[in-house]
Chain A
């Protein structure tokens, strides 16, 4: 049972490049989340999804897009990377409201 898997684990991008982070969960969870973690700021919610085909904005959605075409996958896209998007990105999933979230190992992204 893999739980929540994030791909890739590390990435360096040049300013203006695009990329997609993949999150996959094998627990049949309805809810999935993308967070970014920056020093002194905790985890801030970027986007989330409450089910296949649905997405919603979180606290810091600007510069990111997401898609949930399949229940088990939640993709986070950066169309034109900026140095301010240098961060550690975490994906999480949960059965639904009011239940604990399970996290992936994180992706360290550096934009130069």
Chain B
């Protein structure tokens, strides 16, 4: 079974700075997708960014980018120019035949 590990339960960053959240996964599959979801206090799950495993190029979405290392099974999220609204829980997710999540990282952006 696939497993997803987020080793940083909590992180904090100063507004306008850059922060990187870590995620590793374990799988024997070759085709899969990886996602980062954001969960603010409203509890809504919001897709931040996605990465197809067959693509070597790292995905970017405005201030959000990933560092996808397929051989190392690593999928980190970089948030640039952090904003107060980025304060939330962030979940890494792996999808092949089903979708599995990591335990989450609570990110606090400080003014």
Interface residues of A (CB under 8 A from B): 33, 35, 40-45, 48, 56, 58-59, 88, 90, 92, 94, 97-101, 103, 105-106
Chain A: minimal CB distance from B36 (Å) = 11
**How many residues on chain B are close to A (CB under 8 Å)?**
26
Interface of A is mostly: strand
The complex places the Cα of A56 from the Cα of B99 at a distance, in Å, of 12
A-B CB contacts (within 8 Å), total count: 55
Task: Give the shortest distance, in Å, between A1 (CB) and chain B (any CB).
Answer: 16
Contacts beyond the supplied A92-B99, A98-B33, A103-B45: 19 A-B pairs with Cβ under 8 Å: A35-B101, A40-B103, A42-B91, A42-B103, A44-B101, A45-B99, A59-B1, A90-B45, A97-B95, A97-B97, A98-B31, A98-B32, A98-B52, A100-B35, A100-B50, A101-B99, A103-B44, A105-B43, A105-B44
Which residues of the partner chain B approach A99 to less than 8 Å between Cβ atoms?
33, 95
Residues of B at the A interface (CB closer than 8 Å) are 1, 4, 6, 9, 31-33, 35, 43-45, 47, 50, 52, 91, 93, 95-104
CB distance from A47 to the nearest CB of B (A): 10
